[in-house]
Amino acid sequence: MKTFKLASVSLKSRPGEPIENMERHIPWTEKAKDNQCDLVCFPEMSVTGFCHNYEDFFNASEKIDENSTQNMIQIATKYDITIGYGLAEHNIAGIVFNSYCFVSPKGFLGRYKKVHIPPFEYPLESGASEFCVIDLGFVKAGVNTCFDNWFSESGRISYLNGAEIILAPFRMQWGEETIATNPSKAFSNWKELAMKNFPSVAWQNGVYHITINSCGGIHEKHLDYDGPSLVLVINPQGELEAESNPDCIDEQMVVHEISKEKVLKRRSEALFHPKYRRPETYKRISEIY
C-alpha cells in the first residue's frame, strides 16, 4: 500500500472512567470509517483517562489482555479498521505503565510503553525501556508518548527500529493561555513549541510525525486540564501537511492521506543523515550522569 488514510482524533477523556471513555471512541471510529480511513488514532490515555491520584490511576489500569483491549478489538472488527488508543496498563507485578495500543479485526497488534516519565507523573507510572515499532500491515508505526517527544533519541531509535510514522499522543497544555481563557492563543503557543522540534524529528529520520493532543475541558478528581484540541501532521520533509482547527475547543478529527512514497523519497536523498551516523563515537550519550 503506497498510501493510507489516517484519522487523528483529539478526544476528551474523563479521569478513571475507561468504560465511558471507550464509548466516546465509537462514534469517531465510525466517522473515520465513513471517511474510508485505514487507521484511526486517539490521544494519550484516551481509554483510561489521566488521573493524578495513584489509587484512581491504578484502579483504572488493566492487564493488556483484559476488558478494554477485548472491547476495542470488537469495535475495530465492527468497523473494519485499525485503532490506536492510550491505556494505563499494569503487569503481573502490579506495576503501571502508560501504554499506547493498536488493535484491528485481526486482534491485538502490539503496544508501546512510555519511556520518559516527567517528574509529576513519577508517582503514577513507571518508565519502560524500549522504543518498539508495531507492524500494522500497511505501515510500521513507532510511538513517542508526550514527554518522549522532547528527546531527540526517541525519534532516532524509533526510526532505527523500523518506524515509517511516529505517532505522538499527548495530554498537555503549554503557556499561560488555555481553551478556557484564549483558545486560539493556547493552540498557537502549543503549535509554536511543536514546530521548534517535530519537523526536525520528521526530516532527520525520514518519517511522518503525527501529534494528537487530548482535548481539554476536564475539571474533576483533583484535575484541571484545559489543553487545546490539537492535531499536527508533519511529513518526512519536515513540512506541516495538516492541522486541526485552532478555534475549536471541542473534540475534532483530522483526516489525512499518508504517502509512503514520501518516506522513501526522503530516505533516498543523498543527504539523508542517518546513513552518515558514527555510533561508535556516541558512548557519552548512553552514560548516566
Q: 92-148 pLDDT, tens per residue?
A: 999 999 999 999 999 999 999 999 999 989 888 999 999 999 999 999 999 999 999
Distances (CA, A) of 198 to 57, 112, 232, 234: 29, 19, 10, 8
Contact 33, 54 (CB under 8 A): no
Mean pLDDT score across all residues of the chain: 96
Residues in the chain: 289
Does the pTM surpass 0.75? The reply is yes
Residue reference for cell 491485538: 108
Amino acid 289: pLDDT: 80
Dmax over CA atoms of the chain, in Å, equals 53
Residues with Cβ within 8 Å of residue 281, at least 6 apart in sequence = none
pLDDT of residue 156: 98
pLDDT digits (tens, 9 = 90+) for 272-282: 999 999 999 99
| pLDDT for position 222 | 84
Which residues does residue 262 pair with via DSSP β-bridges, in sequence order?
A: none
Separation of alpha carbons 145 and 115, rounded Å: 8
Backbone angles phi, psi at 252, to 5 degrees: -155, 160
Q: What are phi and psi of 55, to 5 degrees?
A: -60, -45
Digit-coded pLDDT (tens) for 8-57: 999 999 999 999 999 999 999 999 999 999 999 999 999 999 988 889 88
Q: What's the rounded Cα separation, in Å, for the pair 18 and 14?
A: 8
- Vertex 164: Cα angle to 256 and 12 (nearest 5): 50
Tell me: the pLDDT tens digits for 244-268?
A: 999 999 999 999 999 999 999 999 9
Strand partners, 257: 5
CA distance 158 to 81: 24
Q: How many other β-carbons are positioned within 10 Å of the β-carbon of residue 113?
A: 22
Overall average pLDDT of the 191-212 stretch: 98
What is the secondary structure of 65-82 as a DSSP string? TSHHHHHHHHHHHHHT-E
- Residue 88 contacts residue 55 (beta carbons within 8 Å): no
CA gap 44, 36 in Å, rounded = 24
CATH architecture of 3-286: 4-Layer Sandwich (3.60)
What pLDDT sits at residue 286?
87
Domain boundaries along the sequence of the chain: 3-286
- The pLDDT of residue 102 is 98
